[in-house]
Amino acid sequence: MAKIQMKTPLVEIDGDEMTRMIWKMVKDELLEPFIDLKTEYYDLGLEFRENTKDQVTVDAANAIKRLGVGVKCATITPNADRVKEYNLTEMWKSPNGTLRAILDGTVFRKPILVDGFTSFVPTWKEPITIARHAYGDLYKGVEFKVEGPCEAELVIKKPDGTTETQTIHKFKGAGVVQGIHNTDESISSFAKACFQFALDQKQDLLFSAKDTISKKYDHTFKDLFNEIFDAEFKTAFEEAGIQYTYTLIDDAVARIMRSEGGLIWACKNYDGDVMSDMVAAAFGSLAMMTSVLVSPTGEFEYEAAHGTVTRHYYQYLKGVQTSTNPIATLFAWTGGLKKRGELDEIPELVHFAEQLEVASIETLKKGIMTKDLIPLSSNPDKQEVTTAGLIAAIRATLESKL
């Protein structure tokens, strides 16, 4: 069959370690044989980020703003050990944090469910979508390591030259101090994206924070959500028969654990990071979750919502065939291709991406799967395969459908 032609490139953002290997396998075996794949390539592998002083991350974000759709591999956020391992000149910040700060918007993460795979939470029958704010908080925080006695202050300098000051803490010895921020504009964009997504999905929306403790910071999130809901979305929610609820995050966790799923849970940036991993793991695997960042101006960045699978990468370097789950990476590509096809009006590209997703799910249902899924499957004929083995099986299923 002739390859499907693309009009506009995708922004392709390569990553690190085992997921970088999977990235290439997916392209080589499942995409390029069927698509005349057009991408604008950015290498966010840690070595190249070091070589460019992380300018490549900024360039990738701006490329997504220009071209509209990006697909991202998992990347390393270095800690002190990584600085030594990769001989870095500094501890570069999270590339995801940089991308999200430039693109703003909201990250929507949803488990990929497969018949015959059992959730670790028995009550969960339907997917739980995490709507994660993608700007500010810890990911744009500034920090000091306090070496000895001192007084830390929070100072606001106004345009007229006046200041407001609050004492954070009077240190008697060593410690740490951190400052974080957010903006009403970004919080409002987040709220509107969540309300609109709930209407599109016709699902209840739950937003959680901790306004009883954070009486200015978290309370601002709560207040803006309430104001926007009452002014712009309340009537539409009533007509759709769905509800919006705010609750404290500790209460939200308890509600979610008792629920049957089938709702959207909106969280602040760090809360969403943690809770999306919890939801994915409870449904079975971090590698069985889709993730897309939607900006307020209509750009989309699809990614695998898990790490770089370091342990498997070290095995791979020793020549060991690993059984690493490629599904989240594969679905990042299909998400980007579907959106590119929609925007460029290429129905063949949309159909191909949809068929590739169906082929992936059907292959797992047949019992062909990676090691992480074996304990979850009730299929009596299940068999563990390597990463390459699963990709080959998905390709065979796809070719039979095409």
pLDDT at 397 over 90: yes
Q: What's the rounded Cα separation, in Å, for the pair 193 and 199? A: 10
pLDDT of residue 187: 96
Extended strands (E) in 218-351? 244-248, 264-267, 289-294, 300-304
Q: How confident is the model at residue 52 (pLDDT cuts 50, 70, 90)?
A: very high
State residue 305's pLDDT score: 82
Let me know: does 263 contact 205? Beta carbons within 8 Å.
yes
The answer to whether residue 374 scores a pLDDT higher than 90 is yes
Share of the chain above pLDDT 70, in %: 100
pLDDT of 373 above 90: yes
Q: What is the arithmetic mean of pLDDT over 315-324?
A: 93
Once rounded to an integer, what is the mean pLDDT over residues 317-321? 93
State the pLDDT confidence band at 352, using cuts at 50, 70 and 90. very high
| Segments of 94-229 assigned E as strands | 106-111, 129-133, 142-146, 150-157, 163-171, 175-179, 205-209
User: Domains (ranges, CATH) in the chain?
Assistant: 1-111+286-402 (3.40.718.10), 118-141+181-283 (3.40.718.10), 142-179 (no CATH)
pLDDT band for position 284 (50/70/90)?
confident
Residue 286: the pLDDT is 85
Nearest to 53 by CA among 92, 103, 100, 82: 92
> Please, which residues bridge with residue 108 across strands?
131, 292
pLDDT computed for residue 211 by the predictor: 96
- The helix (H) or strand (E) run that includes residue 383 is strand 383-384
| Overall average pLDDT of the 3-24 stretch | 97
> Residue 355: is its pLDDT beyond 90?
yes
Q: So what's the pLDDT on residue 281?
A: 86
Nearest 5°: phi and psi at 300?
A: -130, 135
pLDDT value for 318: 94
What's the pLDDT score for residue 82? 92
Range 181-204 average pLDDT:
94
Residue ranges in 5-128 assigned as alpha helix (H): 17-26, 46-51, 55-67, 80-85, 95-103
pLDDT at residue 344, as a whole number: 97
Task: State the amino acid at position 279 in one-letter form.
Answer: V
Give me the residue label for tokens 């309300």. 195
d(CA 116, CA 190): 35
Instruction: Answer yes or no: is pLDDT of 1 > 90.
Output: no
- Residue 298: predicted pLDDT: 86
Would you tell me how many other CB atoms lie within 10 Å of the CB of residue 209? 23
Instruction: Tell me what the pLDDT averaged over the chain comes to.
Output: 94
What confidence score (pLDDT) does residue 105 get?
80
| pTM (whole model) above 0.85 | yes
Q: What is the pLDDT of residues 329-343, one digit of tens each?
A: 999 999 999 999 999
The residue-averaged pLDDT of 57-67 equals 97
Please tell me the predicted confidence (pLDDT) of residue 97. Answer: 86
Summarised one tens digit per residue, pLDDT across range 97-119 is 899 889 988 999 999 989 888 88
What pLDDT is stored for residue 144 in this prediction? Answer: 95
